[in-house]
Amino acid sequence: MRSLSLPRRRTVLSAAAVATTGAALARPSAAAAAPALDLPGDATAAREIREEFVHSWEGYKRAAWGYDEVRPVSGGRNDFFASGRTFGLSIVEALDTLWLMELDGEVALSADWIEEHLDPAQDADVQVFEAVIRLVGGLLAGHLCTGRTALLDRCRELADRLLPAFTRSPTGMPYRYVNLRSGAVGGHTSPLAEIGSNIVEFGLLSQLTGDQKYWDAAKRAMRAVFDRRSALGLLGTTLDIETGRWTDTTSCAPNPPVDSYYEYLWAGAELFGDRELGDWYRLLTDAVLRHQLEVQGGYAWYRQVDYATGLTTGRTASELGSFYPGLLGKGGDLDAALAYYDTWSMLLANNPVVPEAIDYGSATVRSARNDLRPEYVNAAYDLWMLTGERRFKETAYTYFAGLREHLRVPGGYTVAEDVTASPLQRGDLTPGYWFAENPKYLYLMFAAAPRFDYRSGLLSTEGKVVRGAVR
């Protein structure tokens, strides 16, 4: 859930999209979206993926060790949370990926750095959502994988410094920002994903520490959103967390900035056995499928609608929403899941790498960037875990090969400024989430990783292992 760049107008589909709106989920044949690449054997693919992860990790270590993110083209560094402040974000993000790939020397190096240098009490205004899913989640996963209690201690200290965002809110919905040293809060207008993507990390922290306050804060925030649904069962986009009033009444699921709210309803029900969260997920998802799903050009899409009336307000699809096939599948709507996965596989087949956002109504690109997003391959992983079907490995490997061909640089992997240009125009940043997500999903699909329990394993929205670590 990150900002999209300004709209660009480029053709995105191989053929004109012809409106065929309806409730049916007719899908093009699998052959129409099949990848052109030959799939190597699992051991070969796993080795290639691991090597590319190590390539990017070594690039980070050379140029930006101890800093949040690396600029792999220039050899520079990037502060993610606050200028002049570092949390070693890429180290925290990478920790459980390093462990799953059995890079134990790197695990020890990274965990030692965190224990010695990560300061949860910096005088910095941090975005609560990002701090929870990245830092709290990364420290929890690191603890579960390594058993190092100091990581859990550091995690708890950080979470305690984030809690004022929840406890000082009159509605229980968290403020967007909190100063880790003073506890001062700010940002009273917040999107759903930022309000409701806390319960996996906070609930797990409550389990591990025996302190219920983290779970209570996260559950109250999720309930506050759910209670403000419309008569149609739809949610808007942003809320004033002080008044509890909607500031944007567009239902834009599964796109940002609401995406992971729905994901954490399902994940909270699954991880903690909370039936109420499961009921909320089912009611809200049924409303999205009823009022937003449509078929255009033979493919399934999710339009934006007014949450009270259901009237169409837009037809944008964001790459950040391409996680949704996996969530739909896990939630029991496999037909809808496969239909939407085919949509994104078509977009991958028609672009060197997937663009950030498109207008499917006019079949044009709205944002031609690629920010090394993991959502499509996240969905491939989820659907492969559910079905075991080979085609998800094929499409995931196609995705991997496209990144390797177009976004690999001597210093690691970088974002793209324009995927529609020829040649593709690269940027200069490896986002921290790269180390947590893309290579992990791919590796788990091909490696038969001995440190992961495939029967019970569960990953957070940021790809962190929250269940299933085998020590």
Q: What's the 3-state SS for the chain? A: CCCCCCCCCEECCCCCCCECCCCCCCCCCHHHHCCCCCCCCHHHHHHHHHHHHHHHHHHHHHHHCCCCEEECCCCEEECCCECCECCCHHHHHHHHHHHHCCCHHHHHHHHHHHHHHCCCCCCCEEEHHHHHHHHHHHHHHHHHHHCCHHHHHHHHHHHHHHCHHHHCCCCCCCCCEEECCCCCEECCEEEHHHHHCCHHHHHHHHHHHCCCHHHHHHHHHHHHHHCCCCCCCCCCCEEECCCCCEEECEECCCCCCCHHHHHHHHHHHHHHCCHHHHHHHHHHHHHHHHHCEEEECCEEEECEEECCCCCEEECEEEHHHHHHHHHHHHCCCHHHHHHHHHHHHHHHHCCCCCCCEEECCCCEEEECCECCCCHHHHHHHHHHHHHCCHHHHHHHHHHHHHHHHHCEECCEECCEEECCCCCCEECCCECCHHHHCHHHHHHHHHHCCCCECCCCCEECCCCCEEECECC
Mean pLDDT score, 311-319: 98
Domains and CATH numbers, the chain: 10-467 (1.50.10.10)
Give 113-124 pLDDT, tens digit per residue.
999 999 999 999
pLDDT of 13 higher than 80? no
Q: What is the pLDDT of residue 10?
A: 37
Asked whether residue 101 carries a pLDDT value surpassing 60, the answer given is: yes
In tens, the pLDDT along 352-395 reads: 999 999 999 999 999 999 999 999 999 999 999 999 999 999 99
Residue 8: pLDDT above 60? Answer: no
pLDDT at res. 36: 53
How far is it, in rounded angstroms, from Cα 124 to Cα 139? 19
The mean per-residue pLDDT over the stretch 39-55 comes to 97
| pLDDT beyond 60 at 22 | no
Q: pLDDT tier at 319 (50, 70, 90 boundaries)?
A: very high
Residue 281's CB is within 10 A of a number of other CB atoms, namely: 24
Judge whether residue 1 has pLDDT over 70: no
Q: Which residues have CB under 8 Å from 9's CB, separation 6+?
A: 364, 365, 366
Q: Which pLDDT score, from 0 to 100, does residue 26 have?
A: 33
pLDDT tens digits for range 168-215: 999 999 999 999 999 999 999 999 999 999 999 999 999 999 999 999
- Are 389 and 335 spatial neighbours (Cβ–Cβ below 8 Å)? no
Predicted confidence (pLDDT) at residue 231 exceeds the cutoff of 90? yes
Residue 65 pLDDT grade (very low, low, confident, very high; cuts 50, 70, 90): very high
pLDDT for 296: 94
Which residues are 446's β-sheet partners?
Answer: none
- The reported pLDDT for the residue numbered 38 is 84
pLDDT of residue 30: 43
Cis peptide before 423 (omega within 30 of 0): yes
> Average pLDDT, whole number, for the chain?
93
- How far apart CA 325 and CA 328 sit, in angstroms, is 5
What are the tokens at 74?
């220039």
Average pLDDT over residues 447-469: 98
Q: What is the pLDDT of residue 3?
A: 31
Q: At which residue do the structure tokens 């992961």 appear?
A: 452
Tokens of 217: 């804060």
Express as a percent the part of the chain with pLDDT over 70: 92
Mean pLDDT confidence for 140-169: 98
